Structure 1
Amino acid sequence: MPCQSVVNGCHLVVLLLSWLGPSTGVKHTDCAHAADRCEQTTNSSTGLKEVVLVIQSQRNSYHARRASQRKAGILQQAAELGQGVPVVLLLHELSDYDGYWSILPALPHLSTTYGRSAAWFFFLEEETRISLSALLHVLNRYPAQKEWFLAKRLHDEEASIIHHYAFSEDPASFGYPDPAAGWALSKPLLQRLAERVQLQPLKSDFTIDLKHEIALFIWEEGKGPRLTAVPEFCTETRENCATTFTTYLPSCGDPVVKKNVFVAVKTCQKFHSERVPVVKATWEKDAAFIEYYSDVSDASIPTISLGVPNTERGHCGKTFAILRRFLSGAVPKADWLLIVDDDTLISLPRLRRLLCCYNPKEAVSLGERYGFGLVQKGYSYTTGGGG
């Protein structure tokens, strides 16, 4: 599919991009902790009609299309298997409310709509490949009338700031899911969680690392079940996997040309000699247009002062000033704006390959998504560190 171009005068959109690789200090374990059960034997028999598959889709046209293709493939697989048809949902279609991406706000809807007929709810990402027969084999090991939280288990190797140093004395003791491999909730557990979401306020208003926060919510300080590690929930292909994950960059055509990406680097005076030289020595050469924005002008870099003082917390003022400058005609016209911090490391060639999948005529914002007050109809926002 060829890249889509924008003629002069078309509306320019903003790109805030983050590549999220595996978190530092995170390790996968198949059955890592004594409190985590790897396998249970049961005589229960779950059919595909009792499974609800929730694809964690997004509204953007590219992602919606990828999720629809995944859904079609699952339904085709079910037809060929001949053991019934599962319910396959696209998360972004369940509500007009954008906060459903954080899963917890969607639980009451899932419980009310599908709680009577479903035995299991399985969550997967757009690029998660699934074998329905292998999934049924896994689910039928666990009695569906009990509370189960099944996933590929991750744990911190050391206390992590993004997890607020939880379980700092023994980080490996707490497991959380790898969403790329998919994860499952039995109906009794999902229904109880749905009630809690409606009746009890969350301990934190912020959604920062969704997979860890979901596991904490389910665990409920020991009142709820721990994650049960399932070896067949995989991200890399190996024998007997029920799921695998596509990790390579999508192939959508020729990369976006250099001149169609304008790069804005946010910095401040105290980092002019410490951080900016690293950018210049590494990835700056891959940018056709790049400007450094600071709280002071420095001709040696050079930097541009936007008249916004540096602050320790909250950087919206500088970001809005960059947006206004980009749209004012003061910089070369480009289809995409990339805003990064002065300590962000990024591959611009890989970014340009990725951008070809998106239509710059649409309002597109890419980045690492955080949330605030999402259960109470709050809002999502892009964190700046990753770009």
Structure 2
Amino acid sequence: MAIYGILTLFVVLLSAVTRASKLSADEVVILIISQKDDHHSEMANNLRKLLQSEEPKLKIHLMHEDFDHPGAWTIIPVLKDINIIHGHNSSWLFICDSRTHIVLPALLDLLSHYNSSEETWIGHALVDEERTIIHHFASNDGFKYPLFVSGFAMSTALLKRLGQRLSENETYQQNFAIDAQYELAQFVWDDGKGPSLVDTPFLCSKYRSMCATSPRLIRYCGDAVSRSHIYFAIKTCSKFHKDRVPVIKKTWGKFTGYMEFYSDVADQNIPTINLGVPNTEVGHCAKTMSIIHNVALQPQKYPTVKWIVITDDDTILSVSRLQELLSCFKSDVPFLLGERYGFNIHRPHGGYNYVTGGGGMVLSLAAAQLIAKSTKCQCPDISTPDDMFLGSCATRLGIPIIHIPGFHQARTEDYTTDYIESHQPISFHKHWLIDPVHIYREWFAAADVIDPASQKLHTEL
């Protein structure tokens, strides 16, 4: 850190110590971004109980309980309702994740240093290091957007204006929801008519002693799932047999229990499975649905399989970290798990969430069996986008889409360092302009050396 930055931080810290907090807990509304599954709802409830044990006056909402909207996770659809409920009786709205660690006295003191009657929002600011496909290669002229897991605060004045905008426009028009953090900042900025995010060093991307908030890294919920319970299906085609398939075999493929490659041709040198589905340049719906049918409806062929993981042939991942993650979930409960995107979820009808395919799509066996047996899940065309269709199908069947930030649809270069370090990465996607073997060695090789299922560890950090 530069000398100027150190001096600035010292002045702010001294101010925080010497100035008594004038903000009462009943002036703050906390919205915890939570999900309906047992694992995430338990974390959210634990956070709420902890905060209310410290300050019973706090008004706390759990998103999955109080705002039942498919796009609630993007924040924008719930702002109007929060303004109606709390715009007249609070000073600040603080939004955080279920795994956000909060030092409540420090947070209240931090908010007391800002004027809630002005249109202000503060957070841990992320800035793209280069143009990225995630943000449609938009210019990175220092545009700041908040790291959700660190938490961010909006003044009531800003909340009222945003709520009014949404009331006047009825709905927020955007076809795809990809990065809720960035897209919320764009909405607030409103082409310069709204405020930009104010960066603060006290809402942190990793733990430091001076932080008011920081992420908790969840690693284990119990014994890691055995590799024999996880089936990996890799989608490939003949033109990638010689360059992409060897990368998988050289890296994470060595640590799988069940792994099979699905291609447009049967190649015994790999080997690959040809299910009779021709290759398409885009979509791959028929191939993906055929994989699900092949595994889910043949329990005698795959007797130990409890989880199905479908990846691309240019997906880079950690098997061990996936084993750890799955210890938090039950395979006999239907759900899809991965990096969540949304389609038309801000509109009144027809929207749905889905798991992006490149980062890896995880299906519990219960979900795979429901999908395989359903007449609602028949591809309209072989080239229909498989991940989107699977999300639409799951929505029709009432199967939850569970978001895990460790899955990534893009390369490491497409995310800010602070964002990646705020959680434990499980996967990245694409070999474009990178060395995939190097990426694997840098991010995952050390974790995959030891099978966590053999360690019988029970830790949560």
**TM-score bracket for the superposition, by shorter chain length:** 0.7 to 0.9
Secondary structure of 2:29 counterpart: strand
Q: What amino acid maps onto 1:181 in structure 2?
A: S
CA deviation after TM superposition for structure 1 residue 91, in Å: 0.5
Question: Which residue, 40, 47, 50 being the options, matches 2:24?
Answer: 47
Asked if residue 384 in structure 1 is aligned to residue 366 in structure 2, the reply is no
Q: Which consecutive aligned stretches of 4+ in structure 1 deviate over 6 angstroms post-superposition?
A: 38-44
1:263 is aligned to 2:232: yes
Amino acid at match of 2:316: L
**2:331 equivalent to 1:367:** no
Report what 2:100 is aligned to: 128
From 152, 156, 160, the equivalent of 1:187 is: 156
Deviation, structure 1 residue 236: 2.0
Q: Which AA in structure 2 matches 1:255?
A: A
Q: In the alignment, which of 64, 69, 82 is matched to residue 46 of structure 2? A: 69
TM-aligned CA deviation for residue 209 of structure 1: 1.0
* Residue of structure 1 in register with 2:200 after alignment: 230
Q: What is the DSSP-based 3-state SS (H/G/I as helix, E as strand, rest coil) of the residue aligned with 1:345? A: strand
| Mapped partners of 1:309, 1:111: distance in 2 | 52
Q: Specify the alignment match of 2:285 in structure 1.
A: 316
Corresponding residue number in structure 2 for 1:99: 71
Q: Does 1:176 align with 2:153?
A: no
1:87 matched to 2:59: yes
**Letter paired with 1:242:** A
1:244 aligns with 2:214: yes
Taking the aligned partners of 2:71 and 2:97, their CA distance within structure 1 comes to 16
Bigger mean CA deviation after superposition, 152-161 or 193-202: 193-202
- Which residue of structure 2 lines up, in the alignment, with residue 275 of structure 1? 244
**Distance (Å, rounded) in 1 between the aligned partners of 2:137 and 2:20:** 41
* 1:92–1:101 CA contact under 8 A, matched in 2: no
Identify, as 1 or 2, the structure richer in helix: 2
Which of 292, 295, 306 aligns to 1:326? It is 295
How far apart are 1:172 and its partner, in Å? 4.4
In structure 2, the CA distance between the partners of 1:124 and 1:300, relative to structure 1 (3 Å rule), is: same
Is 1:114 the counterpart of 2:86 in the alignment?
yes
SS of the residue 1:375 aligns to: coil
Matching residue's letter, 1:363: P
Unaligned runs of 5+ in 2: 6-11, 361-461
Among 306, 314, 317, the alignment partner of 1:343 is 314
* Alpha-carbon shift at residue 76 of structure 1 (Å): 1.2
Aligned partners of 1:318, 1:184: CA distance in 2, in Å?
44
**Aligned counterparts of 2:67 and 2:245: Cα–Cα separation in 1:** 43
Deviation (angstroms), 1:202: 4.1
Taking the aligned partners of 2:59 and 2:85, their CA distance within structure 1 comes to: 11
Task: Report if the CA contact (8 A) 1:102-1:374 is conserved.
Answer: no
Aligned to 1:5: none
Within 2, Cα distance between the matches of 1:229 and 1:312? 43
Q: CA RMSD in A?
A: 2.3
Contact 1:92/1:98 (8 A) holds in 2: no
Distance in 1 between the 2:221 and 2:129 partners?
37
Cα separation, 1, equivalents of 2:308 and 2:212: 39
The equivalent residue for 1:205 is: 175
Instruction: Report the residue type matching 2:31 in the other structure.
Output: V
Q: Does structure 2 conserve the Cα–Cα contact (< 8 Å) formed by 1:44 and 1:143? A: no
C-alpha distance after superposition, 1:192-224 (max 9, x if no partner): 212323433545311011111111111011111
CA distance in 2, matches of 1:43, 1:252: 40
Spell out, residue by residue over 1:118-158, the C-alpha distance to the aligned partner (whole angstroms, 9 max, x if none). Answer: 21111111111111111111111111011111111110111
What letter matches 1:376 in structure 2?
A: R
Post-superposition Cα deviations, 1:133-187, rounded to whole Å, max 9, x if no partner, equal 11111111111011111111110111111111212xxx24211111111011111
Q: CA deviation at 1:310?
A: 2.4
Mapped contact 1:145–1:186 kept (Cα < 8 A): yes
Q: Give TM-score scaled by structure 1 length.
A: 0.84
Q: Which whole-Å CA distance do the structure 2 matches of 1:359 and 1:130 have between them?
A: 29
Q: Using the alignment, how far apart are the partners of 2:187 and 2:245 within structure 1?
A: 40
- Matched residue type, 1:138: L
Task: Give the fraction of aligned pairs with identical amino acids, expressed as a percent.
Answer: 40
Give the distance between the partners of 1:198 and 1:303, measured in 2 at CA.
54
Give 1:248 deviation, angstroms.
Answer: 4.6
2: CA distance, partners of 1:160 / 1:72: 39
1:159 match: 131
In structure 1, the residue corresponding to 2:342 is in which secondary structure? strand
Q: 1:356 matched to which residue of 2?
A: 327
User: TM-score, normalised on structure 2?
Assistant: 0.71
